Structures are given as structure tokens and as C-alpha cells.
Amino acid sequence: MKKILSALALLIFAFASYAQSGQDFPSLGDELLVQKNIVEIYPNPSVDFLNVHIKNADLTNTVLTVYNIIGNKFKIEVEIIEENKYQLDVRDLPSGYYMLSIKDTKSDFRKTFKFLKN
């Protein structure tokens, strides 16, 4: 507890000293913080095709895999529509819930999404 209070007091002292120096606090200015690898899957629920769009992507070796809810892997045809846009043919899947795993081996990006096949 004493260490936390000491660190907090030091932080307050540094903040007060910087404020008294008359300098502006550092800021981000007009720069926007941009999130990377924002994934959209649609339509959900899906009947024939599932679209995957990865916005602001820095992925170079993307692998898409479909699993059923108990973990069985399904072989799905993946068509690359354009860079970072994919279309999965889910027509042959039985109705139910599935997991879409998106991985990139170079950047260690991994995300999993649930979708419903009608």
C-alpha cells in the first residue's frame, strides 16, 4: 500500500511540476486513432453465402476456417472477392450455429465469430 501511495504522490508531483512550467500538455492533436483489423461478417443468419470484410487490415496470410459448435472442422470454399473481402459458400452446411475462425500467421491475429446457418 505504501508503494502505491508513494508512486501516486510522485505522479502528482510530476504533473504539478509540468503544469507550472507553462508548457502545453502533450496531445494527439487532430490525429485519429485508427483501429486495425475490424471484422464484419454478414448476413447473419446466412443461407447461401457468408461475407467477411476485414477493414483497416494489416493481414498478409489470412486463413478462414469454419467449425460447428462442438468443434468439428468443415471444408468450406472461400472466394476472395477483393483485398480483405471474402465470400464463404455455406449452402451445403446443415442448419445450425457455426464458428468462423480468422487467423493470420504473420501478425498473430486471431478472432472467432459465431454465425447461424439457416
Q: Measured between alpha carbons, how far apart are the two ends of the chain, in Å?
A: 56
The whole-chain average pLDDT of the chain stands at: 83
Residue 82 has which C-alpha cell?
477483393
Task: Compute how many other C-beta atoms are within 10 angstroms of the C-beta atom of residue 66.
Answer: 20
Spatial CA neighbour of 84 closest among 33, 37, 34, 45 = 37
Domain range annotation of the chain: 38-117
Residues in the chain: 118
Question: Class of 38-117 per CATH?
Answer: mainly beta
Among residues of the chain, what percentage have pLDDT more than 70? 71
Q: Is the pLDDT of residue 29 over 90?
A: no
Decide if 100 contacts 41 (C-beta within 8 A).
yes
Mean pLDDT value of segment 50-71: 93
Q: Distance between CA atoms of 92 and 115, rounded to whole angstroms?
A: 15
Residue 117 has which C-alpha cell?
446457418
**3-state SS string for 29-64:** CCCCCCCCCEEEEECCCECCEEEEEEECCCCCCEEE
Q: Is the pLDDT of residue 21 over 50?
A: no
Q: Is the pLDDT of residue 91 over 90?
A: yes
What pLDDT does 6 receive?
Answer: 61
